[in-house]
Amino acid sequence: MSEALLFAIVIYLLMVLAFFLAKWRFFHVPVMVLAILFDLLIPVYLILTKDWYKRLIEQEEIFSFMIWMHFILVLTLYALYGLQIMTIKKMINGDEVARKEHRTQGVGILIARGLVILSAAMLIDPTGAE
C-alpha cells in the first residue's frame, strides 16, 4: 500500500472521529483543518514524486474512466470544502441555522472523501512501477 494512501486513511479515520466529537472544538477544528490542508497538498506531493507523463500519456491512462472519476471526486471534495468554509463563516457570525448545514456538509465531505480514497486505492499500480 502506498504511503500517501495509508496517511490519507489515517487522516480519514481522524476526521470521522472528529465528526462525532464536534463538541470538542479543541480536537474537531485542528483535525478538520489538517484534513483540508492534506487534501490540498497531496496533489503537489504526488506530482513531485510520480512519473505522471509516463503513466498518463505513454501508457494512455488519461483515457481511463477511473482516472476521470477520481478527478471529478476530488473536485467535488474541494467544492464541499469551499461550501463548508462559507458555512463556518456564517456560524462565526452567529447564524444558528448554519449549524445544520455544517453538519450535513460534513456528512457529504466524509462520503466524498471516502470515495476519493477508494478510487485512489483502485488507481495504485500494483507493480509499483510508476
13-72 confidence digits (pLDDT tens): 999 999 999 999 999 999 999 999 999 999 898 888 877 777 788 787 888 899 999 999
Q: What average pLDDT does the chain have? A: 91
Structural domain boundaries enclosing 35: 3-123
Instruction: Name all contacts of 37-44 with Cβ < 8 Å and 24+ positions apart.
Output: 38/7, 38/8, 38/11, 39/74, 39/77, 39/78, 39/81, 39/113, 39/116, 40/78, 42/4, 42/8, 43/74
Into how many domains does the chain fold? 1
- Domain assignment present for 130: no
- Domain assignment present for 51: yes
- As a whole number, mean pLDDT of residues 80-91 equals 95
- Domain assignment present for 129: no
- Domain assignment present for 16: yes
> Would you state the pLDDT for residue 1?
61
> Would you state the pLDDT for residue 57?
82
- Domain assignment present for 87: yes
- Domain assignment present for 128: no
- Domain assignment present for 33: yes
